[in-house]
Structure 1
Amino acid sequence: MKTIVFAITEFGPGGAETQILRLGQSLVARGWKVHVLSLLEPVGFLEEANAAGIVVSSLKMTRGQPTLRDFQNALEFVRRVKPHALVGFLFHANLLVSLLRLFAGVPRVIISLRGEDYNPRRLMIQRTLLGLRLADVLVTNSKRLSKRLVESGVEGSRIHVVPNLPPPMKHLSSRNLSGAFRWIAVGNILPAKDYANLLHAAKLLESSETPWAIQIAGAFYDAAERRRVEDLIQVLGLEKGVEVLGARSDVEELMHASNGFVLSSREEGLPNALIEAMICGTPVVCTDVGGTGELVSDGLSGMLVSKENSEALATAMNHLMTLDQREREELAKRAYLKVTELCEPEKVIGTWEALIE
C-alpha cells in the first residue's frame, strides 16, 4: 500500500481543504494510505477524515512565526510515515513539501496553486522550486491560471491542469418553488469573495419587479470582513432581503431550495460552490474570475459577468429572474452537462493518481 501526504496550511472548511478531503476519500477507496499534515491546528473536517480512514496530523505551528523546530517536526513526521508522494496545497505548504524533499528524499513532490494569488515574490519562489527539481510538477485547477503561470515564467511542461473533484450530489432537473425568487451564495466570508459586490447588486435589484431574497452560507474566518459585510447590509437597508446563515453543512439542500445561485468573487480558482450549484441543477450567475469561464458560457449555461461590477451583476441576476421556468431549466441542463464532463470524478482521480505514481 502506497502512502500519500497532503500538506495544507490549516485543515478545515475551505475550497482547497475540501478538495484534499474529497481526494483523500477517493484515494483511500483505491487502496492508498492517506495522511493530511496541517501546519496550523486543524479547524474542521476531522470527523469526516476519520470516517474515511484519513489520518490527520498537525505541526501546531503559530501563524506567522515558523521555527526551526517546526521544520524538524515535519521532517520527523515524513521520515516516520515514509510517503511515496508529498502534495502541497497553497503557498506555505508548497514551500514546506519542497524543502522536505531536500532533506527526506521523498520520491514524488507536487505543489498546487488553487486560486489567483499572483504575488510576484511567491511566484518567483515556486518557479525556483520547480527549477531546482525540489518539486516535480505544479497542479492548478483551471486553464486560465495555467496560462498566467506560464506568462509569469513557470515552465509550461511542468504545469498540469486538474479540475476540482465534485461531491456526490442529487441533480434536480426541475423545481417548483413558490414565493420570492430565492438566491443562494455559498463561500466563506472572506475579502476575495467580494460580498460587497453582491450587496450593492442587491440594492440595485430593489427596483426589480420580481420579489427576491438572498441567503449567504459561509464560515466567518475574517472578523474584519464579517463586520464589513454585516455593516454594509445595515447601511444599504437590506436586512429584510439578505440573510447571512454562517457555516452550513446542508449546502445541497440549500441549493435545491433555491431558484438561483450567485457568485460575486473577485478572485477564485475553480469554485467548489459553482460546481455544486451546476450539479444540483441550480441556475447560476457568476463573475468571470479564475476558471469560472471554463464552466459557464454566458447565456448558454449561466450568466457570466465582469468582476467588481455590481451593475452588471444586478443586470444578470434580474435577467435570470425574468426568464420563465423552462428557460431556466434549459440553462441548468446545459450547465449540468458541462460540469459533469469537465469534472468527471473518475477522470479527475485518474489524473491525480497518474501524477503521484
Structure 2
Amino acid sequence: MQQLSQILNFAADAPAFPRAFSEEVNEVSRSMISPETAKKVYQKLKPLLKDYRANQNIAIACGLLLEKQRHESGMRGMWDELRNLYPDDLTALRMLMRWYRREQNTAAGIEQIHKMFPESWHSLEQANKAILGLGELKAWDEIDRIMSTILVLHSEDRAVRMKYVKILKEQSRFVDATHVALNVEDQDKMGQASQELLGSVARCADTLEKHNRTDAVDAITDIIALADAPRAFTKSDRVVFFTGQLGTGGAERQMTRIACAYQDRNDKAQPLGIAPKVWVKHATASSGADFYLPQLNEAGVSTSVLSEMAEIPVGALEGLSNDLKELLELLSPDVLRHTCLLYSMFRDDQTDVAYLWQDGGIVQSAIAAVLAGVPRIVTSFRGLPPNLRPNLFRDELPILYAALARLPHVTFTANSQKAATAYEEWLSLAQGTVIVVPNAIPAVLPDGDDTDHVYWSEIVDASDACTKTVLGVFRFDQNKRPLEWITAAARSIEKRDDTRFVMLGSGALFGDCAALIEELGLSNRIFLAGIRSKVGFYMHRADLLVHLAKMEGLPNVLIEAQLAGTPVLATPAGGTDEVVSDGVTGHILSASDILPEAELDETLEHLLADDDELARLGAAAMAQSGDRFSVETILGRTTEIFNALSLDS
C-alpha cells in the first residue's frame, strides 16, 4: 500500500481544500460505511490529494477510509506516520494504539506512549492523551500509575477524576471508583450523565458489600447459583448459534458451515435437518466482521445482529429477582449489555439449545442462557484456553466456566483433543468432561476461477525452471511465523533450483513479508498470492504444504491439505498430530514454541528430494481423511450432543 505521505501535497503554495469539503469528507469517513463505499470515496478523493494542500481533516479521513477497506498490511505504519504529522490528533493516536493491540504487541504500544508523553505523570495535558492511548491498549496498570500522581498534583480537576471513575467502572472496580469519586467536588452541579455514573458505581459498591464480595467478577458465581432451573427439554427444535462476529476466522467458518448444513437438510426434509438461528454481537462491514453473513443469508439461515438492536436496561428485565438484577449490574459493561439483550431474546425465542462459540462469545451469552432457562447449553472451545493465550484472557472466564461446569444441562466441547485436555487441566475438570467435536471440512476441489488460473500461469511463467511447489496457507501474524516461513524457503532455494514457494493469506505482517522477499531478491521464487477463496485450486497443484504455527486449535488448513492429498510438514502446534499422522501422511517437527530450524531445513530437503515419498504421503493422507472430517459425520456428532440423554440426569 502506497504511503499517504507520498500522496499528500505539503507544498506551502498549493491551494487549500475548501473548508466545507474538508469537513464533509471527515464526516463521511467516520460514518459506518461498507468497504466498497469506502474504496469508492477514497478513489475519488485520491487524485485531489496531489492538487490541494494537505490538511489534518483530509489526511485522517484518508486513513479511516483505508481502515474501512479492511486493509491490514502497513496500517500501523500509516497511523504512526499520521500521528507524527499531526501529533495532536487524537484519532491518529487511538488508531495507532488499536493496531498495536491487534498485533498483540501491547508492550511496544506502552513504550510508544511513554516516548510520546514523557511528562504524563505530572502534566495534565499529556496525561489525558496518554490515558486515551493506554485505554485503547487496555493497559490499566499503566493508567493507574499515571493517575496515582495526577490525582494528587491536580486534585482540583474534576474532569480527570471523572474520567478515571469511568475507566475504573469499565473494569468493574467499583470500590476503587467510589473512593476516587469521594473527592469529586460539586457533584450536585454536574450533568445528569455524570451524576448517573457516580450513582451507578456507588450502588455497585454497596451490592458488593451486601453480598460479601470484594471482586465484581465473583458475582457470576452468585448469579448462576440464583438462576431458576432450566425448562424441560423435549427435542432440539429451536437451536441458536451465538458468536462474537462473522469475520474470516476458522471458528466463524466452521460455525457458518454447520449452521448452513443444518438449514440445507431442513429445507430438503432430510435427517439431521433443523432451522437454526445465528445471533452475533456485531457484523460491521468496515472491519470485515460480516464476511460470512452473505453465505448465511444465501442459505436461508435466520441471522440477528445485536449491535443493530436497542439496548435493554437491567431494570426492564422480566422474571428476575431484585437480587439478581443488582448482581447483574456488577458485570463488565460489554457482558452486561449483551446479557440483558440475550436474556430477553432467549426467553422470547424459547430456545431449546444455545450453541455458544469461542471464549469471547461464551462470556457474552452463557449467563443469559442460564437465566433464561435454556434447557441445553453447549459451548464450543476453539484452540487452546485463554490461560495459554494471555491476549484472550478475561477475568470472568475461569469463574464463569467453574459455575457452568456444575450445571448438568451444560456441555463443554472443543475441536481437538489437545484443546479439550488443556481446558480440563486449566479448569480442574475430570478427564473426558470436554467432548471433542472435530472441524467439518467439505471436499477440497481443484477448481479455481479465472483469476486463479491467470495468477497461476503468472507464477509458472516467472518460475518456469521449477517443477515443485511448496504451499503455505495462513494468516500473516506472529503466531503463524510468515517471516520465518520465507527465510526457510530462502535457505531451501540456496540448495535447490527446482522449487517455488507460494503463500496464501493476509494479515498484519503481509507488508513485512513483501519487503523481505524483495530484500532477498526472490520475487521470482517466493510468491504472495493474498487471500484466495479457492484454496483447493492451489493445494491440488502443490507438492507439499508447510505450516509453522506456534499455537493452534485443530488447524483447518492441515485437514484440507490431507483431503486434497497434499502431504504436510508442520510444527506440533495444537491438534496437528490429530490431523497429520507423522511419517504416514506427513511429517511433524519436534517443537512449536521454538522453531527447530535445522530440523525444518533437513526435513524439507529430504521431502523435496524424494518424489516417491511425497506421493506415498499424499496418497495416505487422502485415504485416511475420508469420512472422519466430513460435514455429515460432524453434523451427526453435534446432533447427538444436543439430544444427549445423559444430560437429563
TM range (shorter): 0.7 to 0.9
State whether residues 555 and 576 of structure 2, in contact with CA within 8 Å, keep that contact through their aligned partners in structure 1.
Answer: yes
Paired residue type of 1:125: I
Sequence identity of aligned pairs in percent? 26
Q: Which has the larger radius of gyration?
A: 2
Q: Which residue of 2 aligns with 1:23?
A: 258
Matched residue SS, 1:86: strand
Aligned to 2:603: 316
1:354 aligns with 2:640: yes
Q: Residues 127 and 154 from structure 1, CA distance in 2 versus in 1: closer, same or farther, beyond 3 angstroms?
A: farther
- Tell me the amino acid that sits aligned with residue 356 of structure 1: F
What is the correspondence of 1:26-175 to structure 2 with a 5 Å cutoff? 26-28=261-263, 29=265, 30-41=272-283, 42-60=289-307, 66=334, 68-119=336-387, 124-125=398-399, 127-133=401-407, 136-152=410-426, 153-170=428-445
Structure with the largest fraction of strand: 1
Deviation at 1:236, TM superposition (A): 4.4
Q: Is the 8 A contact 1:184 1:258 kept in 2?
A: yes
Write the distance in 2 (CA, Å) between the matches of 1:275 and 1:147.
20
Secondary structure in structure 2 of the residue aligned to 1:97: helix
Bigger shift: residues 328-337 or 67-76: 67-76
Asked whether 1:335 is paired with 2:618, we answer no
Which amino acid counterpart does residue 354 of structure 1 have in structure 2?
E
Residue 14 (structure 1) shift: 1.3
CA contact (8 A) 2:568 2:586 kept: yes
Matched with 2:579 is: 295
Offset at 1:272? 0.9
SS at match of 1:91: helix
Q: How far apart, CA to CA, are the structure 1 residues paired with 2:518 and 2:384?
A: 30
Report if the CA contact (8 A) 2:246-2:252 is conserved: yes
- Unpaired runs of 5+ residues, structure 1, are none
Return the alpha-carbon distance in structure 2 between the equivalents of residues 280 and 242 of structure 1: 22
Give per-residue Cα distances to partners, 1:192-231, cap 9 Å, x unaligned: 22212312211221222243222222243xx3x3344344
What is the RMSD of the two structures over their aligned residues, measured on CA atoms?
2.6
Q: Secondary structure at the match of 1:347?
A: helix
CA distance in 1, matches of 2:343, 2:512: 41
Matched AA of 2:401:
R
Amino acid at match of 2:380: S
Change (3 A) 1:73 1:134: farther
What do residues 125-164 of structure 1 show as CA deviations (whole Å, max 9, x unaligned)?
Answer: 3531433429711111222222222322133342101111
Query: CA 1:45–1:86 in 2, change beyond 3 Å: closer, same or farther?
Result: same
Count of equivalent residues: 347
Give CA deviations for 1:12-48 in whole Å, capped at 9, x if unaligned: 2211111101111222213211122222323301221
Are the equivalent residues in 2 in contact too, given 1:181–1:210 (CA < 8 A)? no
Instruction: Find the aligned partners of 2:529 and 2:564 in 1 and give their Cα distance.
Output: 20
Contact 2:565 2:620 in 1 (8 A): no
Kept in 1: contact 2:475–2:505 (CA 8 A):
yes
Corresponding residue number in structure 2 for 1:204 = 491
Query: Hey, what's the Cα distance between the residues in 2 that align with 1:136 and 1:171?
Result: 41
Q: CA–CA distance in 1 between the matches of 2:367 and 2:343? A: 9
Q: Secondary structure at the match of 2:241?
A: strand
In 2, the alpha carbon distance for the partners of 1:54 and 1:192 equals: 33
Question: Counterpart of 1:215?
Answer: 502
1:66 partner SS: helix
2:562–2:621 CA contact under 8 A, matched in 1: yes
- Residue 14 of structure 1 is matched in structure 2 by 249
For residue 188 of structure 1, give the secondary structure of its aligned residue in structure 2.
coil
C-alpha displacement of 1:265: 0.8
- Superposed displacement of residue 165, structure 1: 0.5
TM-score under structure 1 length normalisation: 0.87
CA deviations over 1:53-102 (Å, ceiling 9, x no partner): 222222229xx972643433333332333321111221111112311123
Distance 1:94 1:238, change over 3 A: farther
Which residue identity is paired with 2:246? F
Alpha-carbon distance in structure 1 between the residues aligned to 2:615 and 2:340: 55
Instruction: Please state whether the residue corresponding to 1:342 is helix, strand or coil.
Output: coil
- Cα distance in 2 for partners of 1:124, 1:229 equals 37
The equivalent of 2:153 in structure 1 is none
TM-score (norm 2): 0.50
Distance in 1 separating the partners of 2:335 and 2:575 = 36
Q: CA deviation at 1:10?
A: 1.8
Residues 1:4 and 2:239 are matched in the alignment: yes
Alpha-carbon distance in structure 1 between the residues aligned to 2:520 and 2:343: 52
Point out the structure with the larger helix share: 2
Q: Secondary structure at the match of 1:298?
A: coil
CA contact (8 A) 1:114 1:140 kept: yes
- Asked whether the 8 Å contact 1:97–1:109 carries over to 2, the reply is no
C-alpha distance in structure 2 between counterparts of 1:310 and 1:329, whole Å: 25
Q: How much does 1:234 deviate? A: 4.1
Equivalents in 1 of 2:281, 2:487: separation in Å?
37
Query: Using the alignment, how far apart are the partners of 1:67 and 1:270 within structure 2?
Result: 28
The whole-number CA distance in structure 2 between the counterparts of 1:230 and 1:74 is 44
CA distance in 2, matches of 1:191, 1:281: 28
Q: Partners in 2 of 1:259 and 1:65 — Cα distance? A: 50
Gaps of 5+ in 2: 1-235, 266-271, 284-288, 309-331, 448-459, 644-649
- Deviation at 1:352? 0.4
